[in-house]
């Protein structure tokens, strides 16, 4: 496939152009919904990619996930769908299916999270896609893969349950707990974005696309990092330890005079500074506590000594004192307080997404680029808001011809004026 020349078609409507970031010119056909796929494509859209969000007539499920909402729009949907163009297609309708093909004809990346086998009847399964669009990057997200887990529903909570995550989360004498967010949907979205970027880089040299298979279960096992590595490499099966760390102590919440404070000691030097600041420097000389291994072994003896020392002051007092001597610590904040704290540190966590008066406040892209900043020009679209613009773009932008001599060049070399 080759990028169209400037002479091969008229420029698409301005409303369908992407951003100016590092992925400007890359076109993504996004058939995913809910969280993992949309989060991945939003990150890429923030980086300048043009993302066409293809939805069923019912729309992305998260559009109806209320409360909370802003002006009647689900904030769950808002959280992962900025900088996209929405088009409604019923793949069971032959004309709409042809439109879907036309979008993919003009795309660099195709992302979907249909149930395994669900796209075969539309000719959009991995084998058919690879045959029809050999330089297309096709990312498929499932819950549990396409073999024995193909029929299992892809819910994040299920991945939390079977991966061992819940077995390690919560107090040892209470029930296992889930995370406060769909953590492995988020991790899978990150893995999807990274995989797409890697495939785009490889295609610059080979001219070939490839199929990227991702699933929540594999991302969960990968995302458990040291916990799953401990089992794989040493046969260790971790257990629930509440807020304690299996390898570090003190590392977690400790009660001060008024409320808890997080204290994180990662080495012996930090421990000496901690106990000196707390007024119990002799603990650093106690042979039970001089090493991390010793503190882990004798944590039940060390904990009450630290709690007693911390009871002499408030959490705010100790937070300031410990920060001053370089001991990692933090208050336990609500999300509202956390956002304000980030602002106090100069991190600017909230950005206005959209243009003019049509903006919505959302959380900023996590990477700050020195030359090619993230894009925040398009608020999350209403269902089908860009239908006519997408159809006009199809009419004015020729499909990319498979098997041409220029296939070794990435599709993304098209200029911003030549891509939607």
Is residue 403 over pLDDT 50?
no
Name the maximum alpha-carbon separation found in the chain: 79
**From CA 329, how far away is CA 322, in angstroms rounded?**
7
Peptide bond preceding 250 in cis form (omega within 30 of 0): yes
pLDDT class for 25, splitting at 50, 70, 90? very high
The CATH H-level (homologous superfamily) assignment of domain 27-235+356-396 is Crotonobetainyl-coa:carnitine coa-transferase; domain 1 (3.40.50.10540)
Check: CB of residue 255 under 8 Å from CB of residue 244.
no
pLDDT class for 20, splitting at 50, 70, 90? confident
pLDDT at position 14, please? Answer: 53
Is residue 407 over pLDDT 70?
no
Is residue 412 over pLDDT 70?
no
pLDDT at position 223, please? Answer: 98
pLDDT tens for 353-371 read 999 888 999 999 999 999 9
pLDDT tens for 159-209 read 999 999 999 999 999 999 999 999 999 999 999 999 999 999 999 999 999
Quickly name the fold that domain 260-331 has. formyl-coa transferase, domain 3 (3.30.1540)
Average pLDDT of span 46-70: 97
User: Which stretch of 264-268, 312-316, 414-418 has the lowest confidence by average pLDDT?
Assistant: 414-418
| Mean pLDDT, rounded, of the chain | 92
Average pLDDT of span 377-384: 96
pLDDT at position 195, please? Answer: 99
Q: Tokens in use for 261?
A: 């404070």
Is residue 301 over pLDDT 60?
yes
pLDDT at position 415, please? Answer: 35
Average pLDDT of span 120-146: 97
**From CA 126, how far away is CA 139, in angstroms rounded?**
9
The share of the chain scoring above pLDDT 70, in percent, equals 91
pLDDT at position 401, please? Answer: 54
Of 243, 258, 357, 265, which Cα lies nearest the Cα of 313? 258
Is residue 312 over pLDDT 50?
yes
Q: Which residue has the higher pLDDT, 403 or 300?
A: 300
pLDDT tens for 62-100 read 999 999 999 999 999 999 999 999 999 999 999 999 999
**How far, rounded to the nearest angstrom, does the alpha carbon of residue 23 sit from its chain's CA centroid?**
17
Token pair 């995370």 is found at: 179
Single out the catalytic residue among 108, 185, 215, 244.
185
The domain limits of the chain are 27-235+356-396, 260-331
Give yes or no: 185 in active site. yes
Is residue 326 over pLDDT 70?
yes
Is residue 102 over pLDDT 70?
yes
Residues with Cβ within 8 Å of 201's Cβ and at least 6 positions away in sequence, in order, are none
């Amino acid at each position: 496939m080759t990028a169209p020349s400037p002479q091969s078609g008229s420029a698409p409507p301005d409303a369908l152009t992407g951003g100016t970031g590092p992925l400007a010119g890359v076109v993504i056909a996004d058939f995913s919904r809910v969280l993992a796929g949309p989060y991945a494509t939003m990150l890429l859209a923030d980086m300048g990619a043009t993302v066409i969000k293809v939805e069923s007539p019912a729309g992305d499920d998260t559009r109806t996930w209320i409360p909370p909402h802003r002006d009647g729009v689900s904030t769950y949907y808002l959280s992962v769908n900025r900088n996209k163009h929405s088009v409604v297609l019923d793949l069971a309708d032959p004309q709409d299916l042809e439109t879907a093909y036309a979008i993919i004809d003009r795309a660099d990346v195709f992302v979907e999270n249909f149930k395994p086998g669900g796209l075969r009847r539309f000719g959009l399964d991995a084998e058919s896609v690879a045959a029809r669009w050999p330089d297309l990057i096709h990312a498929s997200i499932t819950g549990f893969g396409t073999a024995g887990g193909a029929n299992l529903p892809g819910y994040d909570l299920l991945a939390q349950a079977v991966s061992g995550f819940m077995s390690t989360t919560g107090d040892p004498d209470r029930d296992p707990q889930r995370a406060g967010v769909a953590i492995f949907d988020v991790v899978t979205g990150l893995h999807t974005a990274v995989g797409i970027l890697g495939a785009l880089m490889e295609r610059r040299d080979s001219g070939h696309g490839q199929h990227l298979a991702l699933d929540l279960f594999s991302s969960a096992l990968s995302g458990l990092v040291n916990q799953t590595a401990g089992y794989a490499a040493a046969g260790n099966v971790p257990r629930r330890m509440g807020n304690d760390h299996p390898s570090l102590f003190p590392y977690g919440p400790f009660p001060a005079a008024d409320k808890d404070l997080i204290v994180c000691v990662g080495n012996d030097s930090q421990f000496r500074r901690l106990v000196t600041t707390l007024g119990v420097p002799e603990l650093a000389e106690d042979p039970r506590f001089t090493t991390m291994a010793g503190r882990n072994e004798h944590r039940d003896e060390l904990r009450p000594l630290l709690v007693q020392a911390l009871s002499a002051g408030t959490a705010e007092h100790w937070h300031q004192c410990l920060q001053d001597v370089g001991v990692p610590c933090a208050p336990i904040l609500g999300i509202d307080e956390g956002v304000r704290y980030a602002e106090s540190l100069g991190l600017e966590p909230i950005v206005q997404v959209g243009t003019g008066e049509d903006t919505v406040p959302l959380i900023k892209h996590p990477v700050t680029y020195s030359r090619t900043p993230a894009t925040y020009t398009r608020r999350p679209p209403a269902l089908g808001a860009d239908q006519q613009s997408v159809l006009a773009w199809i009419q004015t932008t020729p499909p990319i011809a498979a098997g041409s001599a220029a296939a070794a060049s990435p599709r993304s070399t098209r200029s911003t004026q030549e891509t939607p």
